[in-house]
Amino acid sequence: MKRTLLLALSLVVCANNAGAMDRKTLTIASEGASPPWNAITPQGELAGFDIDVGRDLCRRMKFECTFVPQDWDGIIPALTVGKFDAIMSGMAITEKRKKSIAFSKPYAGGFNQVVIRKDLNLPPTDTLAELDLTTIDPEKQAKIEELRAALNGRTLGVLRSSNSEAVLNELFGKVATIRSYDSQDNMHLDLVAERIDGGLADYFTWKAFLDSTDGGIATLYGPRLSGGLWGPGVGVGLRQDDGELVAAFDSAIEAATSDGTLKRLSEQWFKIDVSPQTSN
């Protein structure tokens, strides 16, 4: 009886594995609101670094891929219930997210930065300096205290449910008012309308705003922030029981790294190289 049951379970496992190996199509979700990582064109199509990298990885894995927009707030729950197969949306690999989903190897690095309104005339800072929050020594703590003093009493915006929200609360929650937004665009609107003094977000998302006409009222402030809650980089989000797909993405990312494709796409979209060779 036990041998019959074990045989039946083995057949089920083999059938499931065969189904995964036979997969020919994938649906990949992206927020579409964080250029140049991802955005929605006037024609209503997803475009950006995440999308171009996704297309290249799909070609290497021999999958036909469809890209669909998904609000950031619900993107992980939607993946886990099977609404789509993968997330490529500038999503940082973090220990907290790894409790819910699996990740591929990083396909990009990057950093985050505070932006502040120019009319506040805060003390100048070195905006090209780098501050890795993975470990905090006395020198780093002193730089954080300088920022806290400068931002004391200010109102700062951040994307809701993002790692930046957790970092902002941790670093400045006791000295500043934190206001969370459902989209980067709505945070920009409140910054321009002077309803907030500044905010914290991905540098490349800020760059697109600061280069716009409306963005002329604001400027980068303080060092480039990375590590800590932001993790080792940006990866493909996948379901935890999709081990074969994780391995397939890992192999494709390694190949795209080795032949320079990720470097080329990074320089095309960000004007600097944030491919895994330089970010890890």
pLDDT at 277 over 90: no
Which pair of tokens denotes residue 150? 């400068």
pLDDT at 47 over 50: yes
Q: Considering the chain, what percentage of its residues have pLDDT values greater than 90?
A: 73
Alpha helix stretches (DSSP H) within the chain: 2-21, 49-61, 75-80, 138-151, 163-172, 184-192, 203-210, 243-258, 261-270, 276-279
Read off the amino acid at residue 36.
P
Q: Report the alpha-carbon distance of residue 4 to residue 12 in Å, rounded.
A: 13
Could you tell me which residues come within 8 angstroms of residue 209 by beta carbon, excluding any fewer than 6 positions away?
Answer: 115, 184, 188, 215, 218
CATH superfamily, domain 24-108+232-268, is: Periplasmic binding protein-like II (3.40.190.10)
| pLDDT, tens digit (0-9, with 9 covering 90-100), for 236-260 | 999 999 999 999 999 999 999 999 9
DSSP 84: S
Mean pLDDT is lowest, of 112-121, 162-171, 187-196, for: 162-171
CATH superfamily, domain 110-228, is: Periplasmic binding protein-like II (3.40.190.10)
Residue predicted with more confidence, 49 or 22: 49
Q: Report the alpha-carbon distance of residue 79 to residue 237 in Å, rounded.
A: 8
* This prediction's pTM: 0.69
Q: Does residue 262 contact residue 236 with C-beta atoms inside 8 Å?
A: no
| pLDDT, tens digit (0-9, with 9 covering 90-100), for 201-235 | 988 889 889 999 999 999 999 999 988 888 888 99
pLDDT at 43 over 90: yes
Mean pLDDT over 40-62 rounds to: 97
Q: Report the alpha-carbon distance of residue 174 to residue 102 in Å, rounded.
A: 33
Range(s) within the chain of domains with CATH label 3.40.190.10: 24-108+232-268, 110-228
Could you check whether the bond before residue 276 is cis, i.e. omega within 30 degrees of 0? no
Mean pLDDT is lowest, of 30-34, 147-151, 159-163, for: 159-163
Instruction: Give the pLDDT score at 3.
Output: 42
pLDDT at 132 over 50: yes
Q: Report the alpha-carbon distance of residue 252 to residue 249 in Å, rounded.
A: 5
Q: Report the alpha-carbon distance of residue 161 to residue 90 in Å, rounded.
A: 14
Instruction: Give the pLDDT score at 94.
Output: 87
